[in-house]
Structure 1
C-alpha cells in the first residue's frame, strides 16, 4: 500500500512540475492538457483524477510552486514581531529578492506569477488571498512601525507598493537590465547588495515621511 501511495505522490508531483513549465511558457490559455500529459508521460485520466480539470491543475500548480519558494525563503526568516522594524524590513526585502531571483527551483514561481499578471485568470483571486494579501499585511505592519501609529492608510499603502516595486524591477526588467548594464543574472552577493540598497533607500524615504508628519503636527499645534 505504501508503494502505491509513493507512486501516486510521484505522479502528482511530476505533473505539477511539468505543468509549471508549460504554464510559464505559454500561460493558462496557451497551455494544453495534451502537451502537459505528453511531457509528464501520463494520460489525460491522471489530470482528471488528481486535479479535476485544467483550471484545477493550474490552481494546484500555483500553490505547489508557492510552497516550494516560501519553504526555501520564508517571509520572516526567523525574525519576530518584536524585532526592530528596520531589521524586519531588511529581512522582508531579502526574502522577496531571494524568491524572485533564485536561479534554482524557486525561480518557477515568478515566471508563473508574471504570466498570471499579464493574462489574469480566475486563479488571481485565489493568489491574492493566499499569497499577496498576507505578504502585504506583513509589510504594512512593518511600515506602520516605522511611520508611527495613526499614519493614514493611503500613506502606508504607497510606501509598501514602493518597496515591493523596487524588488520586482529586478525580475521583470531583467531583459532591459541585461541590455543596459550587461547583467542578466544575479549571484548571492549581488542579491545581498540589492537588498541593502533597497532597504537603505526605503528607510530614508519612510523616515523622511515620518519626520514630515511630526513637523506638520508641530506646526499645527502652534496655530
Structure 2
C-alpha cells in the first residue's frame, strides 16, 4: 500500500472517530463501527494508532490543535490590546471552538464530552493544552481585577473558573438553551454576541469585586 493510501486511511479513521466518539463517548464507541464508517479494516486502527485509546488520544490532540489554529485565543488582537479586549477574545475563541458548525464540528462536542466524562487522556491534554490556557486566562483576569491581584491568588482561580463555567454551560446546554430561548442564534454573529455578553458580564463583576489581599500562613 502506498503512503498516500495509508495517509488517506488514517484521515478517514480520524474523521469517523470524531463523529462517533463525540456522539457516544469513548466507552460506548467501538472500533468496528468507526472502521465501518471510515470504510477501513480494523487492522488499520492497530497499524496507525495502536488501539482504540491511541486513536482517541490522537483525535483529542487534533481537536485542540485544529481549534486553536483556526481560533487562537488572541483572535488577531494587537499586543497593545487591553485586558478587557483580551478577555473578550479569549471567550470568543473558546465559544467558537466549542460551538463550531463546520467540517470539524465534532471537535467542540468531543472536548466538552472529555471534560465532563474524563478518560486517561485528560492528563496529557491538561498538561499540554488546558494548563497553559488556564494560566493565560488567569493572567487576564488578574489584570482586570487590578489591586495587585496575582495569578496564583485563590480569588483569581475562582474568577477564571466562573468565566469558563459560563462558556461551558452554553456549550453543554445548547439543546436546552435553544428551547428556552429560540431567538438566540449560534451562527457566527450569534456566537460573537454571546461572547460579548459573557465578557461584559465578567468584566463588570471583576471590576466591582471587593478588594482582597491574599494572606498565607
- TM-score (normalizing by structure 1): 0.86
Q: 2:46 aligns with which of 45, 48, 61?
A: 48
Say which SS state the counterpart of residue 68 (structure 2) adopts.
helix
Distance in 1 between residues matched to 2:73 and 2:104, nearest whole Å: 14
Give the deviation of 1:15 after TM superposition: 0.6
After superposition, give the CA deviation of every residue in 1:121-164 in whole Å (9 maximum; x if it has no partner).
Answer: 10111121222111111101111112233446111011111111
**Paired residues for 1:51-62 under 5 Å:** 51-62=49-60
**Following superposition, which runs of at least 4 residues in structure 1 exceed 6 angstroms of deviation?**
none
**Mind listing any 5+ residue stretches in structure 1 that lack a counterpart?**
218-223
Q: Which residue of 1 aligns with 2:201?
A: 201
Larger radius of gyration: 1
Contact 1:177 1:183 in 2 (8 A): no
Distance in 2 between residues matched to 1:121 and 1:196, nearest whole Å: 32
Distance in 2 between residues matched to 1:141 and 1:190, nearest whole Å: 27
Give the deviation of 1:118 after TM superposition: 3.6
**Mind listing any 5+ residue stretches in structure 2 that lack a counterpart?**
none
Q: Which residue of 2 aligns with 1:6?
A: 4
**Paired residues for 1:36-115 under 5 Å:** 36-79=34-77, 82-115=80-113
- TM-score (normalizing by structure 2): 0.89
Distance in 2 between residues matched to 1:5 and 1:51, nearest whole Å: 16
Q: Which residue of 2 aligns with 1:147?
A: 145
Distance in 1 between residues matched to 2:28 and 2:19, nearest whole Å: 12
State the superposition RMSD in angstroms.
Answer: 2.0
Give the aligned length. Answer: 211
Distance in 2 between residues matched to 1:15 and 1:92, nearest whole Å: 31
After superposition, give the CA deviation of every residue in 1:147-182 in whole Å (9 maximum; x if it has no partner).
Answer: 233446111011111111111222211122122112
Contact 2:32 2:42 in 1 (8 A): yes
